[in-house]
Structures are given as C-alpha cells and as structure tokens.
C-alpha cells in the first residue's frame, strides 16, 4: 500500500481558488443555458426574430426569477417550496420541445447531432439548477439560523446586535 502524500501549498491554493469560483461558474452556466433556450424560442415563435428573441429572453428571465428569488426568503430552509423544481422542469421540457421542432424543420439532415449537443446544454442547465438549489439549502439554513441568533433582546426590551465572526 502506497502512503498518501501530503498536498503541496500550491495544490491547496488551487483547490481553494476552485472552491471560491465554482458557484459563480455554476450561475454563469445556468445563465448561458437560459440564453440558449431564449435563442431557440426566437426560432420557434412565428413572429419577427427580434420580437421572438425578446419573448424568449423574458421567458428565461422569468425562469431565473422564479428559481432564484426564493433565496430572499426563509422558505429554502425547510425545502417547502417545490415550485422552483417544477417550473424548471416544465420550462426545460418546453425548451427541449422547441429545440426538437425548430431543428426538425430547419436542419433535417443534421438534426440528431445538433439536437443532442444543444439538448445536452439545456439538460445540464436544468441539472445544475437542481444541484444549486439542493446545495444552497444547507448554507441558507446556517445563515438564517446564525442571523436569528445574532439579534438578541436584553432584559430592558432593547434590541442589541452582537457581532459574529465567521
């Protein structure tokens, strides 16, 4: 059996960098998948492309708000609100259907490879949304619990705020 080697400081610094930027990368990929769906909506809707693209962007922005606005309340702590996952699932399905219809009509010869690649982007965006929602539930519980503990009431019914070092 080979003994485990101790990680170098450079490796630990790289690992810490990855931990810091990974949430931003996740949100960026989710937003890019929203943009892909918005562009696909512009192909699918029978309006002028500018109006169709605007409608697709509005739909994607609404999805973003539906998914991430819940972070402003404590409903994430008990995972009571399933609407985020339901809306994300329905809109992912609609995006895949729109992709299928628009590619089938416009690119019948190259339909399968294009559908698989863009469909994978849409499905990965959905999977990352669900993963982000699950992983963010625990830190939200900790933040809310810690903030409730920070605000304390003394005997004279005056509010005092203690500072907490994390």
At residue 10, does pLDDT exceed 80?
A: yes
pLDDT at 87 (0 to 100): 85
Dist. CA 99–CA 144, nearest whole Å: 40
* Domains of the chain: total: 1
Digit-coded pLDDT (tens) for 80-102? 567 788 888 998 998 899 888 88
Digit-coded pLDDT (tens) for 101-110? 888 878 888 8
Residue 106: give the domain boundaries. 9-161
Digit-coded pLDDT (tens) for 43-71? 777 788 888 888 889 988 888 888 888 77
Digit-coded pLDDT (tens) for 116-166? 998 998 999 899 888 888 877 665 555 555 555 544 444 444 445 444 444
Contact call for residues 63 and 92 (beta carbons, < 8 A) = no
At residue 28, does pLDDT exceed 50?
A: yes
- Lowest-pLDDT range of 10-14, 24-28, 35-39, 41-45: 41-45
The pTM assigned to this predicted structure is 0.66
2 domain-assigned: no
Apex CA 21: angle with CA 20 and CA 27, to 5°?
125
51 domain-assigned: yes
At residue 15, does pLDDT exceed 50?
A: yes
Strands (E), the chain: 151-153, 159-161
pLDDT at 155 (0 to 100): 47
Dist. CA 98–CA 76, nearest whole Å: 31
22 domain-assigned: yes
pLDDT at 17 (0 to 100): 92
The more confidently predicted of residues 1 and 148 is 1
166 domain-assigned: no
3 domain-assigned: no
Dist. CA 135–CA 27, nearest whole Å: 13
């Amino acid at each position: 059996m080979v003994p485990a080697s101790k990680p170098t400081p450079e490796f630990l610094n790289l690992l810490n960098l990855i931990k810091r930027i990974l949430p931003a990368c996740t949100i960026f990929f989710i937003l890019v998948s929203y943009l892909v769906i918005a562009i696909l909506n512009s192909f699918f809707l029978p309006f002028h492309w500018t109006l169709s693209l605007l409608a697709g962007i509005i739909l994607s922005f609404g999805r973003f708000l539906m998914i991430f606005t819940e972070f402003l309340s404590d409903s994430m702590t008990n995972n009571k609100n399933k609407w985020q996952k339901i809306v994300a699932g329905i809109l992912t399905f609609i995006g895949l259907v729109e992709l299928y219809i628009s590619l089938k009509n416009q690119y019948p010869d190259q339909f399968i490879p294009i559908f698989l690649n863009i469909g994978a982007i849409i499905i990965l965006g959905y999977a990352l949304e669900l993963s982000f929602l699950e992983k963010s539930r625990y830190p939200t519980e900790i933040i809310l619990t810690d903030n409730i503990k920070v605000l304390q009431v003394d005997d004279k019914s005056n509010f005092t705020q203690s500072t907490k070092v994390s």
